Amino acid sequence: MFEAGEETQAGIDYPQNPKWPKGFVPIAVHTGTIGPLNCQREDELAQLLVKTPEIQNFLNNQTYKENMEKVENLTGWKKDLDLPTVMDTLNIEHNVYNLSNVDPELVKMLPFLNQTVDNLIRWTNGWGKAHKFLKKRLF
């Protein structure tokens, strides 16, 4: 459990219970893996989540598509682009170690990478409009 801040709502992001600490969100079961893991239910939920209007609007946005293409071209990663890994590596190489060989064009992409990874984390952990839409369809 962690404190998620002001954007969370009781009864949606955490239990609406007077004994529950306000703003604290339980951590989803699938927040990390050790070794290979195949969870059919997680896969089913991910497929439903991608169909939500919020995520469809995000994925179909022209700016998003252009930025993703640019990141793919700069990193050489195509189909299985792992944005959290790209963002973490870039942050470490540029901000922590201040390496001089970091592509300045990729550094310019950090705000896009940060925002996109934040959205992915929010959606996969059940925050935001996409999750609310999905809950209406499932329950």
Q: What is the pLDDT of residues 82-135, one digit of tens each?
A: 788 888 889 899 988 988 888 999 999 999 998 888 888 777 776 666 555 555
Residue 109 pairs with which residues in a beta bridge?
A: none
For residues 47 and 74, give the distance between their C-alpha atoms in angstroms, rounded to a whole number.
28
The more confidently predicted of residues 136 and 14 is 14
Mean pLDDT in the chain?
77
Are 84 and 106 found together in one domain? Answer: yes
Alpha helix ranges (H) inside the chain: 40-50, 53-60, 62-75, 83-90, 104-107, 110-124, 128-138
Q: Which domain holds residue 32?
A: 1-37
- Number of domains comprising the chain: 2
pTM: 0.62
Tokens describing residue 102: 């970091």
Tokens describing residue 20: 């529950």
For residues 93 and 67, give the distance between their C-alpha atoms in angstroms, rounded to a whole number.
20
Are 73 and 120 found together in one domain? Answer: yes
